[in-house]
Structure formats: C-alpha cells, structure tokens
Chain A
Amino acid sequence: MTYITKPRLHHPTLTANKVGYTRRDYEGRISTLCAGCGHDSISAAIIQACWELDIAPHRVAKLSGIGCSSKTPDYFLGASHGFNTVHGRMPSALTGANLANRDLLYLGVSGDGDSASIGLGQFANAMRRGVRMAYIVENNGVYGLTKGQFSATADRGSKSKKGVINSDSPIDLVGIALQLGATYVARSFSGDKEQLVPLIKGAMEHGGAAFIDIISPCVTFNNHSGSTKSYDYVREHNEAVSRIDFISSRDEITAMYAPGEVVEVQQHDGSMLRLRKLRADYDPTDRYGAMSYMQAHQARGEIVTGLLYVDPVATDLHTSLNTSDHALNAMGVAQLCPGSKALDIINRALR
C-alpha cells in the first residue's frame, strides 16, 4: 500500500555521494506494482542515476500522467515534489512547470497508453518545443491497470493474454521523437540496468528534450509467448548500437580506448557521454542516419537499443522564448508590475 512509509534505517556502510545523500535518500514509498514488474527496475535505475549524478533530490520535479507507469514517481525520490496529472497530459503540465522555474530538473514519467494513445498529441508537441526534461516512457504495450488491453505501441500480430491478435500498426515513439526534433533519443530495456542507468544520467543532464523509450515487460498481462514486449522476446531481439558511459563534468576521465572504438559527446554542461560502439556503422549525432538505421533494423524484427541520437549543443524552450535566467515563479511585484505611472501613460493613449 502506498501510504506505508519505508523504514528509514540507514545501513552504516551506505556511502554518501558528493552532496551528502546515500542511495536510500533517493527512494520513495514502497511500490504497489506487481512483483517482477519492469517499472520497478526503472525506478531503481532512476534512483541509481540521480544518486550517481549527485543531484539533491528536492531539486527534481517529477511529473506523470495516469497508469501503472505514472504511479511510479511515488516510489522514487520521496523528497522531490511529484505531480500525477491527468491521462496523457503530463507533457503540458511539465512544460508549464518548467516555464515557471527553470532551475529544477524535470523528470517526466509516462507509459505507452499515456504517451502513444491518449497523449500522442502532447508527447509530439513537447518534443517539437524542446522542453528541457528527461521524458521516460515505460513501454509494455498493454494497459495494465485495466487488465490487459492493447496499447498503441503493441506490435501488429502480437498476441494478448486472452489470445487476441493485434491488427493495428504500432506507434514508434522513438521514430516520432527523432522526427519532431527531440535532441536526445534513446531506447532501452528495463532488464538491462547497465545500459539504462547511464542513459538516464545523460538524459537528466541534457540541455533540451531528452526522450527514453524503455521496454518494460508487464509480468501480469504481457509476458506470454506471442507477445513482443515480454522479457524473453526483448532479450532475444535486443540489438544495442553502443554501450554508454556517462562521465560527469566533475569526473576525471581515466579509461582509455582504442581509436575508432568510442564516440565521445560532450553535452552543454560539460558532462561527457562516451559511447563504446557496438556497430561500426552507427553515428549517434546523425539524426537522419538514426532514423533510417532504426527503420531498417526494426523491419528485420530487431529492437535497436542504446543512445540513438544526441545533439550535444541542444537548446530548449526557454532559449526560444528568451526567458529570464531567473525563475519566473520567484519574481515579485517589483519586477513584474509596471506601476501607476506607466498606467497613467496608457490611460492617456486611450483617450
């Protein structure tokens, strides 16, 4: 039950990060999801990523829509403010929150029903605008809370637990994000924490709209044979383009790689994404290359994972709007109100 608080006993050997928090400080309430749910692994990866990034938990705002995935922000970063909005509309609420205070980090958590079905329009427009956020879709191809209906990311021909074959084409959120201008686009698998944690770290530190589609099997309603979002299916078809190491701007770079083996991408804040290439022909800074690579490989039934595209000098909506460097929500009457003298001049012009 979500109102049960986790015991806050800290193991004395737990190590604190540079801002003085242990990993336990990034946890939330006890999850109420099914045992073995992929979403819980993602929550654990978010906790790990934020701890490793030395982010003070209260400087993150976590927003979500409605559904199993959207419940998860209650299960991590308990010291952060969270906002469980309405179904499919997290992107707009996050956009407004971000405009109000650009000093926080914004984590949007959504699901495939929330982002691809009811919320496709808001997903698409948030990507277009370049809202600075880490937008995570916990994608299981199924409606869990209402017990097993297909969502819009379910593959054509995949089978539901009740035996129904899906006849609709799937929506590929990664393809849409690439097309609409997201500046950090990745796909991962909840069962691959080694890949997932650095991807989340890169997204949290990214300067624009970062999107990660994480295939996260639903153990209860979509983990059977005939499903293309089951643990077994994803493991068999996972084709990673690279292995990513995230190096914060504060870390010293020590590891050495042979030339040609790695691609290094420095983000706006100085942090470094080091991609160990698993595919010689893959260039993660080529948006159109990424799109055609994805399409070619998906057509062969492969699930391409890893950091698919990154624009290291990404800008965001605040840049487009030329908003103040200071948070709008902290401005008072002195900064915002033109005052009575200005009003007298307006009055005069209206006579």
Chain B
Amino acid sequence: MKPIESINDFVIKFANVNGSGSASANELFAKAILRMGVPVSPRNIFPSNIQGMPTWYEARVCEDGYAGRRGGVDMMVAMNPQTWDADLAEIEPGGYLFYDSTRPLPPSKFRSDVNVIAVPLTEITNAVYTDPRQRQLFKNIIYVGALSVLLDVDADVFEKLFAEQYKGKERLLESNIRALHMGRDYVKQNLKAPLGIRVKRSDQVGDKIFVDGNSAIGLGMVFGGATVAAWYPITPSTSVPEAFQKYCEKFRVDPVTRQHNFAIVQAEDELASIGMVVGAGWNGARAFTATSGPGISLMTEFIGLSYFAEIPVTIVNVQRGGPSTGMPTRTQQSDLISCAYASHGDTKHVLLFPQDPHECFEHAAAALDLADRLQAPIFVMTDLDIGMNQRLCKPFTWDDARDYDRGKVMTAEELEAGKDFGRYKDVDGDGIPWRTLPGTHPTKGSFFTRGTTRDPYARYSERGPDYIYNMERLLRKFKTAADLVPQPVLRNAPKKTSYGVIYFGSTTPAMHEALDVLEADGVHIDALRLCAFPFPESVNQFIAAHEKVFVVEQNRDAQMRSMLVNELDVNPAQLVRVLHYDGTPITARFITRAIRDIVQPAAAVPLRQKEAA
C-alpha cells in the first residue's frame, strides 16, 4: 500500500461529537493553514441538534485555490466512535486515519490500505487536566497540536493565532499554547512526521479574507444602510441577523447619546417578520429579513402585497434542503421557483445569486438599493454552503463616494411646486412609479396603500383597463429590473465550442474547477454564471449561441432550467440538466462526470482511475 503523497493538496475531515467544542479547534486548524499561505476551504457538516450527535468538519487544502468540495477524504481525524465505521470507509486508499488510541481497538476496526496514526489523546489529556470541561476542550487543542507536526504546520503560526484570540487573557493564552505543545511533543517523540500529505509555506492567500456568507450579509446590510431588521430564528439563516446586530452595535451606536441608529426585532414568526419589514419599507426605512425555505412559505402573502402595492423589501433566503422541514442543516438551491414566483396571482420577483461571502456583502447592499429603486421585494438567494461556512474570498470593498439610491421618492417641495403625483402611474416609461412617504406634505401626496386593484392615482378600482394598465406596468418594471441587477459573468473556452454551461451561486467554485479539469481533457465549454433573475438579454444570446447548454444546479427539479424555459421561451431540448441534490455541496468530480458522460460517452473511463491519474 502506497501512502498518499501530496503537498498543499489534500482533504482532511474531522469526525466529532457536536457540543464538544471541536468547532473552534477545527477552525483554528484551518486558519493556521491559511497563515501558511495555503488556501483552505472548510465545510461544517452538522446535524439539527445541539449536543451528542455526530458532526464533521471537512477541510480542503488546495494550493490552486479551488474552494469547492472535492469529494473523497485523504485523512480522517476520527474522534467519534459512533461514526467510526462510516468514517473509516470514507478514506481514500493510501490515506490516513488519526485516532485516539487510549482504548485499544480490535484489528477488525481498521483497514489494511489505510495508514493508522495512533495518539493516546485521552491519556495525555487526563494526565494533566482534572476538570471534565477542560479535558474536553484541551483534548481538541492537543489533537490540533499533534496534527500540526504530522502535517508540518509551524508552531509559531498557532502561537500567533492564540495571541490574537486571547489578547488580554494571558491565562487562556498560556494554557492553549501548553496544550498545543503537548500534542506536538507526543508526535515528535513517538511518531514519524511529517506525513506524505503535508503543508508547505506558499503565497497563494494574499490579501484574501476568510469569512462566512451570513456574516458578510449582516455587514453588507450595515454598509448598505438597513435600519430595520425583523426576523425569526431558522437554520441556516439565524446568523445573518445576529451578525447584523453585532456590526450595528459596533458601528451604529451614537457616540454621544449611545442611542441606536437601527432597530432589530425578533418577531413571533416569519409572518410578523416580513410584516414589520413591509411596514418599515412603506414608511421609507431600509429594512430586511433573513430566513430559509419554510419561512418563505409563511411570508408568501406579504410578498404578494409587497409586489402589488410596490413596497421596498429585502429578503435574504439562506436555502436549505426542502421540501417541508426537509434537511434543515444541509444545503440546496431549491427555493428558486418558490421565491421567483412567490404568492398567488401573477407575480415575479427579483433574485440575486451571490457566489461567495464577498458577493454576499455586495449583493446585500445592492439589494437595498434595488428594493428602493424598484419598489419591490428583492431576494438575496444564498444557501447553507455559502452562508454557514467560512470561505477564502476577495476582501470587502466600499467606495466612500457611493450614496444610497433611494429611488423615486417625491419630496414636499416637488409636491408644493404642483408636480403631478399618481402613485401607480408610469411617468418615466420604465414601469417604476413615484412614491411619497407618510407625513411628507400637509395636503398633497397622501394616498391609501392597498393590496386591492387601483387606478394610477391609487384610487380603488376594479375596472378591467385599470387592472391591465397596472399589471402591464409591473411587467415593464420587471424588464427594467433585468438591466439594473448584477449582470451574468461570461467565461469563454479558449476554443470555439457548441457546448455551454449555466450555473450560479454556491456551485461556482466546483464549476470552475470542473471547467479546468474538462479543459485539460480537451473538452471545451463556454460558461455563463447567472448573478440574478430576471435574465438579461445576454442570457438568451448565450443559449442561442450554443447547441447544448448544461444547467448545473442543486435541486431535484431543475428549477433554474424551468425558469429559463419559462422566461426566455428557449427549446427545452437545448438545456441539459445537471442536478445534485443530496444535501451535500456539489463537487467538481460530480459535474465533470455528468458533463463528460454526455460530451464523450464513448470515451468513458472509470472515474476513480481517471482522477487518480
């Protein structure tokens, strides 16, 4: 058996028990690799539970910077006896198994084609610590220390990270460093290190930042000027309002009065969350809510009101596995249709598809502008994979010359000057009417907002022509939206090709890696990353320019493909489904195989053999 040899390119997976404090130790490990200048993309795989259930942390170390999930595991840190058998089975042949050898295990519990690294973690820990909680926490740091020697990560990188984390808490700093060295010393004295897989200092991280998408959205909402947030806890979106709260407390508290330039309400349910946001948007504040699929279902009636009464609202949907309660802690892109066409009657909504935390920040701020400009609900469609995992991405930027686009709001001066105000009248030809905010003028510009039909002057009307005028204007507005939303990003193959691929959101890193792999194989594909719905004309042109277009998405029913067919009237036979929906993030291996099966059916080679080459 040949051990896997690979520098700066491997997957290590930690199998833990949730509630054991392993998450912070694992994050420390990932950050240390980043500090070595080597990109890493970790993913939490966790249950809908607080304590005692299995949880995994899968970190892909990749000097080439591929941030998608690779698939396969080169080293398993098996800290959970409950999942031992499955964890062992997942290791690639020639891979490594790291485990706590305090209690002996029978040979039947091991694999002959896997390298075993035994460290008596419990024994080492219990010899020094007596307090049960300390034992648990420091055992985690000890295994990180042991791994650092095995994988050749410098001790000073950890010491610096500890110093940053425990600034002013010297006692904690010292005890963590001590635990780290307990692990390091054991390996140095008893085992052969480093392993065939290891980390070597590099310079591939640069000025990139390491952050999760939900934090980035919370921050984007602060920069974008949101003042009212109403929400109801739901995995995986909860950390969005929590991040917003954290950043507001840092940046939005008046230094003199200590008063808050923000208002956050944890509502009684999603109906109330969206209701508050709609009320605030109606009254001229920038407001948002964050939720996941089941919350969208509950909010649907208000979303229809916001569409029809034309009220600016921003909704963050951190998607999880559906339908119903579905897979609350797994990832999917399966709320596209439920958001794009949310509510009864004829409705269409703007969706944004950030690819990573950097874009989560950008799209959050952009959504607030778009909501005001379009006077409509705007959805930021992220998912658990982007939202709850830290990802290495471009640093956040903000142009200080940028002002908020508050859209068409008529002022008291304009009303006083006699400017005609028809709340639902298209005066500019873009389908977007003017609005007034409550309290603007003593006698002019007031109107009654309602979900019932009305004439262009907001007077109740069930006349057919008034209804048609309004509905056609809303369509015109949606067309205008296609030009205002973030535009698709084209990546052309180096050679002319009749194949195209359309993808979006969290699929992006896996897609890019797949394109490189296919390219190296001589399979050329032009790629278009969608950043928003509605689709601009360029999407139509892209599809028209190719015989076959793969539509890669993370749901069962090819929802994006349906939307493309529905909105652009393209021939469905042209659009080939590539669907991944088991709740795990899509991998480059999956995409490569799916596309290759269609492009080169005759040249099919067993995948494992192909990729090992």
Interface residues, chain A, with chain B CB atoms under 8 Å away: 2-3, 56-59, 61, 63, 73-74, 78-86, 89, 91-101, 103-104, 121-122, 125, 129, 317-318, 321-325, 328-333, 335-340, 342-343, 346-347, 350-351
Q: Which residues of B contact A57 (CB under 8 A)?
A: 442
Name the residue in A3, A74, A317, A328 with the highest tally of chain B Cβ atoms < 10 Å from its Cβ: A328
Q: Which residues of A contact B99 (CB under 8 A)?
A: none
Q: Give the nearest-CB partner of B402 in chain A.
A: A333
Q: A325–B403 Cα gap in the complex (Å)?
A: 23
Name the residue in B281, B400, B448 with the highest tally of chain A Cβ atoms < 10 Å from its Cβ: B448
Could you tell me which residues of chain B, from 182 to 205, have a CB within 8 Å of some CB in chain A? 205
A86 B210 Cβ-Cβ under 8 A? no
B168 CB → nearest A CB, Å:
15
Q: Give the nearest-CB partner of A94 in chain B.
A: B279
- B277-309 near A? 1/0 per residue, CB < 8 Å: 111111111010000000000000110010000
- Jot down 20 A-B pairs with beta carbons below 8 A, ordered by A: A3-B461, A59-B439, A63-B279, A79-B443, A80-B446, A83-B449, A84-B448, A85-B279, A92-B230, A92-B267, A94-B279, A104-B439, A125-B267, A323-B260, A323-B263, A336-B225, A336-B404, A337-B222, A347-B209, A351-B34
Interface residues, chain B, with chain A CB atoms under 8 Å away: 34, 205, 207-211, 219, 222-225, 227-228, 230, 250-252, 254, 257-265, 267-269, 271-285, 287, 301-302, 305, 395-400, 402-404, 436-443, 446-452, 455, 459-461
B284 A329 Cβ-Cβ under 8 A? yes
A338 B446 Cβ-Cβ under 8 A? no
Closest 9 CB pairs of A and B: A92-B275, A96-B279, A100-B285, A96-B276, A81-B438, A93-B279, A329-B284, A96-B280, A100-B283
Q: Which residues of B contact A322 (CB under 8 A)?
A: 258-260
Q: A337–B265 Cα gap in the complex (Å)?
A: 21
B402 A101 Cβ-Cβ under 8 A? no
B219 A346 Cβ-Cβ under 8 A? yes
Q: Which residues of B contact A129 (CB under 8 A)?
A: 265
Q: Give the nearest-CB partner of B210 in chain A.
A: A350
Known contacts A99-B265, A125-B267; A81 and B446 CB within 8 A of each other: yes
Q: A254–B251 Cα gap in the complex (Å)?
A: 51
- With A86-B302, A336-B261 known, 17 other A-B pairs at CB within 8 A are A83-B279, A86-B451, A89-B275, A91-B275, A96-B280, A96-B282, A99-B285, A100-B285, A101-B284, A121-B272, A324-B257, A329-B284, A337-B225, A338-B250, A340-B398, A340-B399, A351-B205
Q: Give the nearest-CB partner of B206 in chain A.
A: A351
Q: A137–B285 Cα gap in the complex (Å)?
A: 27
Q: Give the nearest-CB partner of A321 in chain B.
A: B263
Q: Which residues of A contact B269 (CB under 8 A)?
A: 121
B441 A58 Cβ-Cβ under 8 A? yes
Q: Which residues of B contact A104 (CB under 8 A)?
A: 283, 438-439
Q: Which residues of A contact B273 (CB under 8 A)?
A: 92
Name the residue in B276, B278, B285 with the highest tally of chain A Cβ atoms < 10 Å from its Cβ: B276
A95 B451 Cβ-Cβ under 8 A? no
Q: A83–B423 Cα gap in the complex (Å)?
A: 13
B305 A97 Cβ-Cβ under 8 A? no
B359 CB → nearest A CB, Å:
15
Q: Which residues of A contact B210 (CB under 8 A)?
A: 350-351
B436 A95 Cβ-Cβ under 8 A? no
Q: Give the nearest-CB partner of B209 in chain A.
A: A350
Q: A39–B258 Cα gap in the complex (Å)?
A: 44
B452 A84 Cβ-Cβ under 8 A? yes
B263 A347 Cβ-Cβ under 8 A? no
A338 B251 Cβ-Cβ under 8 A? yes
Q: Which residues of A contact B225 (CB under 8 A)?
A: 331-333, 336-337
Q: Which residues of A contact B260 (CB under 8 A)?
A: 321-324
Q: Which residues of A contact B461 (CB under 8 A)?
A: 3
Q: Which residues of A contact B403 (CB under 8 A)?
A: 332-333
Q: Which residues of A contact B230 (CB under 8 A)?
A: 92, 95-96
Q: A289–B282 Cα gap in the complex (Å)?
A: 40
B554 CB → nearest A CB, Å:
26
Known contacts A81-B446, A83-B282, A323-B263; A58 and B276 CB within 8 A of each other: no
B305 CB → nearest A CB, Å:
6
B400 A340 Cβ-Cβ under 8 A? yes
A97 B279 Cβ-Cβ under 8 A? yes
Q: Which residues of A contact B436 (CB under 8 A)?
A: 81
Q: Give the nearest-CB partner of A74 in chain B.
A: B448
B446 A58 Cβ-Cβ under 8 A? yes
Q: A104–B265 Cα gap in the complex (Å)?
A: 20
Known contacts A61-B439, A89-B275, A321-B260; A328 and B446 CB within 8 A of each other: no
B279 A328 Cβ-Cβ under 8 A? no
Q: Which residues of B contact A92 (CB under 8 A)?
A: 230, 267, 271-276, 278-279
Name the residue in B273, B396, B402, B440 with the highest tally of chain A Cβ atoms < 10 Å from its Cβ: B396
Q: Which residues of B contact A61 (CB under 8 A)?
A: 283, 438-439
Contact among A58, A74, A100, A333 with B440 in the assembled complex (CB-CB below 8 Å): A58
Q: A346–B223 Cα gap in the complex (Å)?
A: 12
Contact among A3, A98, A329 with B437 in the assembled complex (CB-CB below 8 Å): A329
Q: Which residues of A contact B208 (CB under 8 A)?
A: 351
Q: Give the nearest-CB partner of A341 in chain B.
A: B400
Q: Give the nearest-CB partner of B393 in chain A.
A: A350
B313 CB → nearest A CB, Å:
10
A347 B395 Cβ-Cβ under 8 A? yes
B613 CB → nearest A CB, Å:
36
Q: Give the nearest-CB partner of B452 in chain A.
A: A84
B257 CB → nearest A CB, Å:
7
Q: A94–B272 Cα gap in the complex (Å)?
A: 10
Q: Give the nearest-CB partner of A126 in chain B.
A: B272
Q: Which residues of B contact A323 (CB under 8 A)?
A: 259-263
A122 B272 Cβ-Cβ under 8 A? yes
Q: Which residues of B contact A80 (CB under 8 A)?
A: 438, 446
A101 B438 Cβ-Cβ under 8 A? yes
B227 A93 Cβ-Cβ under 8 A? no
Known contacts A333-B225, A336-B252, A340-B399; A100 and B302 CB within 8 A of each other: no
Q: A318–B227 Cα gap in the complex (Å)?
A: 13
B398 A89 Cβ-Cβ under 8 A? no
